[in-house]
Structure 1
Amino acid sequence: MKKAYLTWIILAIALTLLLTGCSEEDTIQPEDRLEEYVELWESQDYDAMYRYLSEETTENYDEEAFIERQENLTNDLSIDRISIEYTIPDPEEEAEEDDNEEDPTFPITVLKETVAGDVIFDAELTLIEVIDEEEQNDWTVHWEPSLIFPELEDDTTVRLRTLDTTRGEIHDRYGNGLAINGTAYDVGVDPGLFSDNQTEEIEEIASALSIDSSAIENALNQEWVDDGMFVPITTVSPSNEDLIDALSDLPAVLIQETSGRVYPYSDSHAHLIGHIGTITAEELEQDEEGFYSEQDIIGKRGLEQLFENRLRGEKGVEILAVHDNSTDEIISSEPVPGEDIQLTIDASLQESIFESLQEDDDKGTAAAIDPHTGETLALVSSPSFDPHLFTYGISQSEYDDLNEDEGAPLLNRFASTYSPGSAFKPITAMVGMQNGTITQEDAVDIDGLTWSQDGWGNYEVRRVSESTEPVDLHDALVRSDNIFFAQKTVEMGTDLFTDGLQSFGFDEDGLSYTYPIQNSQIANNDIDREPLLSDSGFGQGEVLMSALHLAISYTPILNEGDLLNPLLTADESEEVLQSDIITTDDADYLKTALRDVVAGERGTASVADRDGFSLSGKTGTAELKQSLTDEDAPENGWFVAYSDSEDHLIAMMIEDVHDKGGSGYTAEVLAEVFEWIEID
């Protein structure tokens, strides 16, 4: 009997323990639902989050509105990440809360990464227990708008406001502004100031602005327009003083100052500095960073475009909670100004070179460097254009005039390559001196004005003048003897010639230069025949060079054999691109020869000889023949020169010099620039 009673007690205890265990396993704890809800919140799964909300919450907040509001804020504020940290109260605190029969509340810390920065706030998340018909429990979440941001209420809207930044400026080596933030002029009309002849007056304004009159009429037809109001039409450059004066005389026109981009040196620097303009739809699509928005201003050409990421700065952003009569700031970030950039350019020298080309409306280019540092002092392309036209809105007729101009003012000539002609001969001389094919002692017997090899057919190399004695390198440079350089280049062969030129930057990578200038070339493909090799030796054939590359290629002559890398910005360090191209002795020899090109009895640049300073250099006439028999082809004239101070080395090319005296014309123009440098 006792045994049976004991067995019953054991079974009862076991059943009780079993039932108790099952109850604990079937009961859902609030921490379980909290963890699940937080995971959904961090993954921004607002659809699933809504299914966790309490009955009271869902009665107050429609599912579609709940999801749409948070998804819109995520997109508008660029919320990349949400992180939630929460604290589980200790068991004793939980027990006290159970005694008070209050819904469990969990402290949380919310972090949201937004476009304006990280928003961090503390909040509380309350869970409400629900019991179903089968007496199974569960927990739901009590939600309110303050869990999005503490400042939010039911009737609160969130606004994003950008704070404009300041674009960085571009200055020359002396701090002169090349692209600055200055004053422009907003041009508008007051409808109340028109006379009875409004149509005629609109036509007059449109004509002055080179726009269609319909643009003014459309502006006046906007709903908000009324008498006494300023109706904006366009923005005008401060450099266009004549236009501003003309518009000021028209009764209905109003002119207001505004901030704008200003290019103080205008067309003389336009190809180098470029201009800014409103971003296009295509450019906006290419903005993978999402940095820009419609109506933003970006660099469109030249250094304004090249340095866009440095110049643009960063906008500030404010996220605001707007109530009926108040506005609360949720978070804000201050705008970061763009970086100012200083160039190695000498603005006055650049302007002087440009004006020297403009005197006779010459088409051409020039590059000036400091031959001892590699710093670029000028990059000129002529003719040019007013960058303000593109910055503030160019009319179709103005664009057509520029585009159809025979002088091609929109063509950036200093970024292009051309046949260098005989200005290339010092490079061939240095290549030959480096590989031993040409020495100071060499003297070649050359008869007549022409020379050819067996197998060349009817093709002959022609020189300007005959020689009565053997021709050495000095004489070949002074008289610019094509045959000497053709023979020496054929003698060294294609491999030695091209290998030598590669040390001057004639390769796939080209020069290491900040501005995108077209790479120079030795030939279209390979030099596969002797006539092409011979022509290449004196800068014809298929050799193409930019003015900058030609200028920098002369630096071994002035740096004891070292070829420098060209620089454009003040923060770049001096660099030797190739050392020991030639010996110091050979460099001195070439200096003497280049001086005699200008000052020697038979020198080809004698027109550049001046009192008060000495010039040295090399001329070059590049014939632009369409065929070997072309007798009346146009010619480009080159002159590469430096003065005895050796502070400036300038390579200049002028197009169509055939009827102006050939390369001598270019030498004369460049000599005038050196007069300005050395004397004025």
Structure 2
Amino acid sequence: MSRKRRRSSSRKKSMVLPVILIVAVIVIIAAGVFLFFRLRGTGENPSDILKNYFSYITSQDYEKMYNLVDAGDVSKDDFISRNQNIYEGIGCSDVKVEIKSEEKDSVSYSVTLTTLAGEISYDNTARFTTDSEKETVLVWDDSVIFPELTSTDKVRIYTDEAARGQILDRNNVVLAGTGTAYSVGLVPGEMNEDHSADVETLAELLGMTSDAIESELSQGWVTDDSFVPLTTISASDADLRRQLLEVSGVMLSTVEVRNYPYGEAAAHLIGYVSSVTAEDLEEHPDEGYSSDSVIGKSGLESLYEDELRGQSGYTIVIEDENGEQKSVLAYQEKTDGEDIRLTIDITLQQSLYEQFQEDEGCSVAMNPYTGEVLALVSTPSYDTNQFILGLTTDQWDTLNNDESQPLYNRFRQTFAPGSTLKPFTAAIGLAEGTIDPNQDYGSNGTSWQKDSSWGSYYVTTLQDYSPGTLENALIYSDNIFFAKAALNLGADKFTAGLDKFGFNQVVPFEIKMSQSQYDNDGSITEEIQLADSGYGQGQVLANPLHLAVMYTAFSNNGSMIQPYLIYKDNPSATVWIENAISQENTSILTEDLKSVVNNRAGSGYAAHRNDTELAGKTGTAELKSEQGTTGQEIGWFSVFTTDPNATKPVLLVSMVEHVEDKGGSTYVVEKDDAVLDEYLGS
């Protein structure tokens, strides 16, 4: 019995082995067939071949396309060049093919493809044959690209460039628009035979090297009659033009360029455009940019790029060998860019720039009742027109290595606000009942510490005064009063109060600003830091625009209004933070801030006016490397008109770094006074 079982088992094993071998052979054959077709890229029938062919257009794999066709006398290189030039030239993408019918040797189909000029759709019929290896291939000629295209025809795309929109101020004054410049170039045939001396002269005039000019002249396309462009210069520099034209072979050609009439005064706000780079084309695929386009690189030119640039128009045509148009494949009309009208008053913007142009600082101006931003200035600055004309290496290095950082946009950053924060420490104390506006808190002299646990650290202030009321503490800008106020509140109530004023929040505005903060790590834990924070030091940092928005509470019954930059015909306020200060406390503090400017003892009295009532607060923040040391000082002045019916209501916040040797915040007050005199007096 056991022998029978063994024989039966042996017989079953012998039957299983051939089956396994057969299955293995089938799998290997199937894999080979699959791999063959995979590598070759064909399908099993003409329809599949055609679909694969058109899928390679989208992926720009022209060599795989060639492997699927019988191109007759057309070489592989010519096939690839022809297809690549046409499809990429028209910006072809998203190719879709639909099979209509299939015969043994032909396929009828429809194609839709996206181009720079919009969609192109057509019906066609493809023929198929077998090659020497008995494989089915597509019979190719130029009609596969477009049915009416022949080998002698050309596919051309004509561009109608969209005009870039202008950037205008509130009074429709052009801040960025079309201007004129001169393209400087050489015509080799007009140059002296020995032109080395001329090239050296030209290099010196243009800030180039002789080698760079010779390199341009030695390009393969250059002939004696060619105009070889070297750089672009301003149309306003007549003396440079005269010197250039004295050099043999130099030619000047008028060109249109983006122009910034106010240059340095609005550079950080408006920004500039530049020629599209390869990186730009990668970041903005299928958006209509070409190597000849410009794109906003900074400021509002970048922020409103989509609106400003518009859409160029394109016409794709087939032309015969004589240049005669045979057909129009696609047409897209151009759409010029939109004009962007701002709330900015360029006269105020320019006045602020001229006053502070030598200082490291910034200014913000607003209408405190509507939220319209009237000026955003950062100094020192740079001429945006230089970026349009082309910076030399020396000019670029000078800008980047300048210790005053002219490229740095200060109005977007944060700085220690110093005493400009005191009205808000007062507002928190009034709300919490830890400050009585009528109480005399007595004199503390000019140096104070809570107790001996502070060691050698003292809070200091500049003046002793009496009585020690809230109003006088603001008039004399008493650090000790507000250090005590913060300590009486405690860290939790003090920071919660600052949060209510928008600290650690994004200010709702078209341009992204750095967030104001009261501590690097988000909470105040040290007693001395809390005391210093009460008068705007410690680790408190405020963005100038945010600070301006905080001050709008004094003009709007305690509510902070939202700033905005795009002009409205009928401006009205949008509240950002409602009832940041109660109406009662707003009235108290507004009267105190009037005293800061109008009381002869006030730190802001230098801005006092007889024709317009102002209110405000000065501030000086000392940046110390450690407690007990002296350091760089930042000067501030926040000032606003108090009459809601004023012809030109304005709120102005200015900040200047390094005022320690300039008179502190008084330096800023006096410059703002000159700006207000010009603005309100006009």
Judged with a 3 Å threshold, the aligned counterparts in structure 2 of structure 1 residues 320 and 495 are, in CA distance, closer, same or farther, namely: same
Shift of 1:36: 5.3
User: Aligned with 2:655: secondary structure?
Assistant: strand
Does structure 1 retain, via aligned residues, the 8 Å contact 2:370–2:561? yes
Does structure 2 retain, via aligned residues, the 8 Å contact 1:612–1:679? no
Judged with a 3 Å threshold, the aligned counterparts in structure 2 of structure 1 residues 573 and 44 are, in CA distance, closer, same or farther, namely: farther
User: Aligned with 2:606: secondary structure?
Assistant: helix
**Rounded Cα–Cα distance in structure 2 between residues aligned with 1:432 and 1:330:** 73
Scaled by the length of structure 1, the TM-score of the pair is: 0.82
1:603 maps to 602
User: Aligned with 1:185: secondary structure?
Assistant: strand
Q: Which of these residues, 415, 440, 445, is aligned with residue 442 of structure 2?
A: 445
The one-letter amino acid paired with 1:459 is: Y
Does structure 2 retain, via aligned residues, the 8 Å contact 1:620–1:639? yes
Alignment of 1:259-270 (within 5 A): 259-270=256-267
Shift of 1:109: 4.1
Does structure 1 retain, via aligned residues, the 8 Å contact 2:370–2:572? no
Alignment of 1:276-355 (within 5 A): 276-287=273-284, 289=286, 291-326=288-323, 327-328=325-326, 329-355=328-354
Judged with a 3 Å threshold, the aligned counterparts in structure 2 of structure 1 residues 145 and 204 are, in CA distance, closer, same or farther, namely: closer
Unaligned runs of 5+ in 2: 1-43
The one-letter amino acid paired with 2:615 is: S
Shift of 1:186: 0.9
Does structure 1 retain, via aligned residues, the 8 Å contact 2:72–2:140? no
1:677 maps to 679
Does structure 1 retain, via aligned residues, the 8 Å contact 2:164–2:310? yes
Does structure 2 retain, via aligned residues, the 8 Å contact 1:165–1:314? yes
Alignment of 1:508-547 (within 5 A): 509-525=505-521, 526-547=523-544
- Of the structure 1 ranges 639-648 and 156-165, higher mean CA displacement relative to structure 2 is found in 156-165
2:376 maps to 379
**Rounded Cα–Cα distance in structure 2 between residues aligned with 1:40 and 1:401:** 55
**Rounded Cα–Cα distance in structure 2 between residues aligned with 1:615 and 1:495:** 33
The one-letter amino acid paired with 1:254 is: M
1:653 maps to 655
Alignment of 1:76-475 (within 5 A): 77-84=91-98, 86=100, 108-124=109-125, 145-191=142-188, 193-194=190-191, 198-225=195-222, 229-248=226-245, 250=247, 252-287=249-284, 289=286, 291-326=288-323, 327-328=325-326, 329-358=328-357, 361-454=358-451, 455-469=453-467, 471-475=468-472
Shift of 1:445: 2.8
Does structure 2 retain, via aligned residues, the 8 Å contact 1:420–1:543? yes
User: Aligned with 1:554: secondary structure?
Assistant: helix
User: Aligned with 2:337: secondary structure?
Assistant: coil
Deviation digits for residues 179-225 of structure 1 (CA, Å, limit 9, x no counterpart): 11221211123445545773333222222221212222223334554
Q: Which of these residues, 494, 498, 503, is aligned with residue 497 of structure 1?
A: 494
Does structure 1 retain, via aligned residues, the 8 Å contact 2:49–2:137? no
**Rounded Cα–Cα distance in structure 2 between residues aligned with 1:232 and 1:47:** 37
**Rounded Cα–Cα distance in structure 1 between residues aligned with 2:303 and 2:67:** 52
**Rounded Cα–Cα distance in structure 1 between residues aligned with 2:87 and 2:251:** 43
The one-letter amino acid paired with 1:640 is: S
Does structure 2 retain, via aligned residues, the 8 Å contact 1:191–1:228? yes
**Rounded Cα–Cα distance in structure 1 between residues aligned with 2:154 and 2:47:** 29
Over the matched positions of the two proteins, sequence identity in percent amounts to 37
Judged with a 3 Å threshold, the aligned counterparts in structure 2 of structure 1 residues 186 and 291 are, in CA distance, closer, same or farther, namely: same
Shift of 1:177: 1.1
Count how many residue pairs are aligned between Structure 1 and Structure 2: 622
Shift of 1:161: 4.8
Matched, 1:564 2:561: yes
2:591 maps to 592
1:94 maps to none
2:545 maps to 548
Does structure 2 retain, via aligned residues, the 8 Å contact 1:127–1:142? yes
Shift of 1:642: 1.4
- Of the structure 1 ranges 578-587 and 320-329, higher mean CA displacement relative to structure 2 is found in 320-329
Judged with a 3 Å threshold, the aligned counterparts in structure 2 of structure 1 residues 657 and 33 are, in CA distance, closer, same or farther, namely: closer
Judged with a 3 Å threshold, the aligned counterparts in structure 2 of structure 1 residues 195 and 66 are, in CA distance, closer, same or farther, namely: closer
Shift of 1:433: 3.1
The one-letter amino acid paired with 1:576 is: V
- RMSD of the alignment, in Å? 3.4
User: Aligned with 1:422: secondary structure?
Assistant: helix
Judged with a 3 Å threshold, the aligned counterparts in structure 2 of structure 1 residues 606 and 72 are, in CA distance, closer, same or farther, namely: closer
**Rounded Cα–Cα distance in structure 1 between residues aligned with 2:211 and 2:66:** 53
- Of the structure 1 ranges 204-213 and 152-161, higher mean CA displacement relative to structure 2 is found in 152-161
**Rg bigger for which structure?**
1
